[in-house]
Chain A
Amino acid sequence: MDRAFRALIERTFGDLLTGPVRQRHDETEMRIRPGDVPAVVRTLHDDPALGFEYLGDLAGVDTGTDFQVVYHLWSVVTPDWLRVIADGIPRDQPRIPSITFLWKGAEWMEREAYDMFGLVFEGNRDLRRIYLPDDFVSFPLRKDFHLPDDASRSPGGGVRPMEDAATPADAAAATVRRTATAR
């Protein structure tokens, strides 16, 4: 845990942070609003005092109530992994700015997040399904998606022809099954 780094983050991003900067093991975690992602990421990348040149990971998360996009960054200034959580993306409007302007390599990771969560990354030139077929309609890693074998009554068991044609009229709406206890 790098206390000095925590202070640096708090000092740099003061009012952009939506929650406390948390630290555990070798990770430092900061939370921001999804709209602030480009500004924050650009500062992290370009500021010589920070110098987060390396994007370790980009992950979508469904907390059960809303979505998050989690970035992991690495820099020489701190021994910690920096975790940037873009918090509170609403379920009905899952939109977040893309970071492909900075890391072109995030394009496919954003495509994956779109494929799995339906997160729309604005500014990604190629935002389409990457693993699943193009005509797939649901988003499997959302918490209201049922595994086909554990809920056969779920509309469209993830099987393409069935999904296209055979959604029963009286199919029960999928429900959120799990919600994160720790935000």
Chain B
Amino acid sequence: MTTPTRPSLDDPALTIALEHAGIFEPIPMARTERQQEFYTLGDGEMLLNMGPQHPSTHGVLRVVLKISGEQVVDLDPVLGYLHRGVEKIAENSDFHHIISQLDPLEYISSLFCEWSPVMSFEKLLDVQVPRRAEYIRVLTGELNRIASHMLFLGWYALDLGGITPILWSFAERDEIMEMLAAVTGAKLLFNYFRIGGVNGDLNHEFMSRLGDWMGRAGAQLEAGMGLLNENEIFVRRARGLGVLDRETALRMCTTGPNLRASGVPFDIRRAHPYSVYPELEFDIPTRNEGDSLARYLLRMDEVRQSLRIIDQCLHQMPDGPIMARLPRLLRPRPGRAYSAVEGPRGQYSCYAMSDGTDQPFRLRIHDPSFLHLQLVGLLMPGNLIADTMAIMASLDPVMGGVDK
């Protein structure tokens, strides 16, 4: 057995190998104008590769940062580490099967990933969903929204170096997930909505857990938010960070809380009502600052509104069937349908084309995280490395949804 000798850095073959490994500045062959611009280093600038195995890139994201000292000059997100071609999979699965394929897109709030495809299939099939099923969808969806926003609180604090809020918010999320598990049968990827209704009626366990939780939810959620809302270090770091103004937000196709934090009161639940939202009473919280703190506080306001909606759902829910009558094999007539829902991160929408077979001809999934990640490139330049994660977390992208 021979002991391997330590290779020397002067070896030209090794230098090439190191360049391939990305240890030196990776200057790839520029394919576009923008890439050329990004990979041309100015005086005192260097590239810093963040991810895909970085502690806080919210999944498997790689960001190439161009930095000057500690200041970020520019950045280039590199996606695709979680890409599994769900649109192609959907073209080769039947309509029922697709729902379970779409769940893992956004594992934080998977009910919303199911909701918009299901709605568009219903449009293709001209199905009327029973009102009880719609109420159940709204109820579970809003629960999922709270869980997602509480997780956002935790992650955001974690990215700013606070380790406690994530565990506090997980306590909250756990209760909600247990609840949803009682009614859907799964704790993370629910696969609960069906074309024409939902998979199962609300059961005793769900109702008792929900009733138990609703009694203390308000105080408990406020306690979780109280960890950060009045924390001087947190507020000072988040205020004025990554300001997104109204026009830019619209130009960048921003949706959801990130758009509303910039002063645009656009919420699909009100702007393009679907399901039973027109019958429910809730406000659309809006803020004008457009900074990270506004995005954070806006989500917390949304949690409060969601509690209101849940309360109304419980009081107004009618009796009746939870599924429309449909054949086993769905062959919608040829056509196109588009539907959008307002998820915790923004607009989840789905564009489905049918050609008369039992598989969609084309299924386009639009995920808000994808567009919000794009915003990072706009908001980051000029900030410090310490704030890359703070800005990214305040936009709340989920890489499963970004990469599809």
Taking beta carbons and an 8 Å cutoff, which residues of A are in contact with B? Answer: 24-27, 29, 53-57, 59, 61-62, 70, 72, 74, 76, 79, 81, 83, 102-109, 112, 116, 125-134, 140-141, 147, 150, 178-182
Contact = CB atoms under 8 A, between A and B. Distances in A.
B338 interface: yes
Contacts of A125: 32-34
Contacts of A132: 80, 83
A141 B89 CA distance: 10
Given A131-B403, A181-B334, A181-B355, A59 B32 contact: no
Interface in B207-246: none
Given A57-B349, A74-B271, A127 B361 contact: no
B35 A53 contact: no
28 contacts: A26-B272, A27-B338, A55-B253, A56-B340, A56-B347, A57-B338, A72-B338, A74-B272, A103-B251, A105-B375, A109-B253, A116-B87, A125-B32, A126-B32, A126-B33, A131-B404, A132-B83, A134-B28, A134-B31, A140-B85, A141-B88, A141-B362, A147-B88, A147-B92, A180-B353, A181-B356, A182-B334, A182-B335
A105 B362 contact: no
B353 A61 contact: yes
Contacts of B338: 27, 56-57, 72, 81, 83
B326 to A, nearest CB: 17
B336 interface: yes
B282 interface: no
Interface in B18-41: 28, 31-35
Nearest to B373: A108
Nearest to A130: B79
A22 to B, nearest CB: 9
Contacts of B83: 131-132
Interface stretch (B57-65, B153-161, B176-184, B364-372): B364-372
Interface of B: 28, 31-35, 79-80, 83, 85, 87-88, 91-92, 123, 248, 250-254, 266, 271-272, 334-338, 340, 347, 349, 351, 353-356, 361-362, 364, 366, 370-371, 374-375, 378, 403-404
A109 B373 CA distance: 12
A133 B31 CA distance: 13
A25 B338 CA distance: 10
Contacts of B349: 56-57, 72
A178 B354 CA distance: 12
A139 B371 CA distance: 22
A125 B34 CA distance: 6
B370 A83 contact: no
Contact of A81 (B31, B92, B272): B272
B253 to A, nearest CB: 3
Given A25-B123, A57-B351, A72-B351, A83 B374 contact: no
Nearest to A107: B374
Contacts of A182: 334-336, 354-356
Contacts, number: 125
B373 to A, nearest CB: 8
B361 A128 contact: no
A180 B336 CA distance: 11
B179 to A, nearest CB: 31
A62 B362 contact: yes
Contacts of B272: 26, 74, 79, 81
Contacts of A53: 250
A51 B359 CA distance: 36
A83 B361 CA distance: 17
A27 B337 contact: yes
B33 A59 contact: no
- The 6 tightest CB contacts between A and B, nearest first, are A105-B253, A182-B334, A105-B252, A126-B34, A59-B364, A131-B80
A103 B227 CA distance: 38
A103 B35 contact: no
A105 B255 CA distance: 11
A179 B334 CA distance: 12
Contacts of B250: 53-54
A100 to B, nearest CB: 10
A133 B404 CA distance: 15
Contacts of A109: 253, 370-371
A102 to B, nearest CB: 8
A131 B77 CA distance: 11
Nearest to A179: B355
Given A141-B87, A150-B92, A180-B361, A105 B337 contact: no
A83 B335 CA distance: 13
Contacts of B337: 24-25, 27
B64 to A, nearest CB: 13
A181 B250 CA distance: 36
Nearest to A24: B335
A108 B351 contact: no
